[in-house]
Amino acid sequence: MIEKLDRLAKNAAQRAYSPYSGIRVGAAVADEAGRVFTGCNIENASYGLTLCAERVAIATAVAAGATSIAALSVAIHDDGADVERFVPCGACLQFLAEFAEPATRVSVCDVGEFTFGELLTNPFVVT
């Protein structure tokens, strides 16, 4: 499944709308039923409105009825970026926290594979 998500994430990066940063990010998630959804980053002239690829993919899944995210893959494409250091941003990890478990697999294409718990040890939670 992770290999499939990696492939879909790389593909989704081609659809990025990123005229301001030039950085293309794609994401793919699988839900609890094995359904897959993708997202890309979508920038805006008002920079703060930019949507990250991971949040677009998660929102697409939830809007389609997903109740949990079983795995996420993200791919970054930018000739000048240091991909070795790329992991999903803190906002996306906190967004993912609603739908993931500490053991949920997060693959960062060309970087490595992590568990969600490794990337965000202490999410903000309201119980």
What are the residue numbers of the active site?
A: 54
Amino acid letter, residue 62: V
34: left (phi over 0), alpha (psi -120 to 50) or beta: left
Residue 119 found at the interface with ligand THU (CB under 6 A): no
CB 49 within 8 A of CB 56: no
- Dist CA 85 CA 18 (whole Å): 20
Assigned token pair, 102: 């500490």
Q: Which of residues 58-77 bind ligand THU (CB under 6 A)?
A: none
Interface with ligand THU by CB under 6 A: which range of 7-15, 87-95, 99-107, 119-127? 87-95
For 106, phi and psi rounded to 5 degrees? -125, 115
Q: Which of 13, 25, 61, 119 contacts ligand THU by CB under 6 A?
A: 25
Q: Which stretch binds ligand THU (CB under 6 A): 2-10, 30-38, 52-60, 65-73?
A: 52-60
Cβ of residue 57: shortest distance to ligand THU, in angstroms? 10
Interface residues with ligand THU (CB under 6 A)? 18, 21, 23, 25, 41, 43, 50, 52-54, 88-89, 92
